[in-house]
């Protein structure tokens, strides 16, 4: 068991979300009055970074953001949360990435996103962070940045013998050419289907297939091991659940080295992340996850 905080490096996007809470999603041409609309820090990599810090990790975020006021607010929020931001590059005359997130009464969401400065995160940014990767216990990357940059992250991790976890989202019509070289792949069912269609002969070391409220499967070669969902919550907003799952899985895997324990920890953490509206604001603290894990019995499994 690791005595010190696990060190993680997260490569990816950071956004300012425009979050709207609505009784339902509008039909084409329909105008619905929202019960709430607000700005909230988001972006999958930033969400994962905040979640990992709250769950006990030491996290460096490698990202690109703009020179606008919203980017200033994103940086301040990350620093307040304890994320190491010295590897985030500020891009002159560019705005931060943004996303429009609509959440309905069932907690389901629809998201439109604009990359902004995220589209400028480059392989050179990856190379400049090699020292952090060398010191890391685990690296996370998603697909909200350029393809060549994701490929550079995977290549560096392989070269330095560092474990890399790929969260293949958002779907953008491409996958990294070297994606099969990752140590862990964390797709949801839609992403898994897209991957198998695009790369039918690819062989992955470990796939953690997320099925939301139905739990999921750990796939290793021809072996499939089901893991349960933590059902003792009422979901209000699922926006950040997948990001929380990835962060929690990474933190616990780095700490204990036990995949089954990491899956259990991630199931509880991601469920708790659905009990509040928003992404980063909803990420649970370590003590809350540990408390729920200690009371989780078979009656809470789905």
Catalytic residue annotation: 243
What are the phi and psi torsion angles at 16 (to 5°)? -105, 120
Classify residue 160 by burial, with Cβ atoms within 10 Å: 0-12, 13-18, 19+.
middle
Contact between residue 55 and residue 286 where contact means Cβ atoms under 8 Å apart: yes
95 and 66 Cβ atoms separated by less than 8 Å: yes
Q: CA 238, 73, 114, 246 torsion: positive or negative?
A: negative
CA dist list (Å): 294 to 34, 115, 265, 281:
38, 40, 11, 24
DSSP 277: S
Structure tokens at 54: 């709250």
Which residue has tokens 């994320």? 83
Question: Could you tell me if residue 221 is left (phi over 0), alpha (psi between -120 and 50 degrees) or otherwise beta?
Answer: left
Beta strands in 149-221 (DSSP E): 164-167, 184-185, 207-210, 216-220
In sequence order, what E strands does 104-159 have?
A: 109-114, 138-142
Neighbours of 86 (CB within 10 A): 10
CA 297, chain centre distance (Å): 27
Three-state DSSP class for 111? strand
Instruction: Locate 12 and state its tokens.
Output: 């990816």
């Amino acid at each position: 068991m690791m005595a010190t905080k696990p060190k993680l490096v997260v490569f990816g996007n950071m956004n300012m979300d425009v979050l709207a809470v609505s009784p339902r999603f509008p039909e084409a041409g329909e105008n619905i009055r929202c019960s709430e609309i607000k700005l909230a820090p988001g972006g999958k990599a930033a969400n994962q970074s905040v979640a990992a810090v709250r769950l006990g990790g030491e996290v460096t975020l490698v990202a690109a953001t703009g020179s606008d006021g919203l980017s200033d607010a994103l940086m301040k929020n990350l620093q307040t949360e304890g994320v190491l931001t010295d590897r985030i590059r500020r891009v002159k005359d560019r705005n931060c990435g943004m996303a429009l997130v609509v959440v309905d009464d069932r907690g389901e969401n629809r998201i439109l996103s604009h990359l902004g400065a995220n589209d400028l995160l480059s392989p050179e940014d990856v190379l400049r962070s090699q020292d952090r990767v060398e010191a890391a216990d685990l690296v996370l990357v998603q697909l909200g940045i350029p393809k060549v940059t994701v490929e550079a992250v995977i290549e560096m991790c392989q070269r330095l013998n560092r474990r890399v976890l790929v969260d293949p989202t958002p779907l953008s019509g491409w996958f990294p050419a070297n994606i099969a070289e990752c140590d862990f792949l964390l797709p949801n069912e839609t992403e898994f289907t897209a991957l198998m269609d695009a790369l039918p002969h690819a062989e992955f070391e470990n796939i953690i297939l997320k099925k939301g409220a139905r739990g999921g499967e750990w796939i290793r070669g021809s072996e499939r091991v089901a893991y349960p969902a933590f059902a003792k919550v009422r979901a209000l907003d699922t926006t950040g659940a997948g990001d929380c799952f990835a962060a929690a899985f990474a933190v616990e895997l780095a700490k204990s080295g036990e995949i089954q324990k990491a899956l259990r920890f991630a199931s509880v953490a991601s469920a708790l992340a659905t009990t509040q509206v928003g992404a980063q604001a909803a990420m649970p603290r370590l003590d809350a996850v540990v408390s729920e894990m200690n009371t989780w019995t078979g009656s809470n499994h789905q």
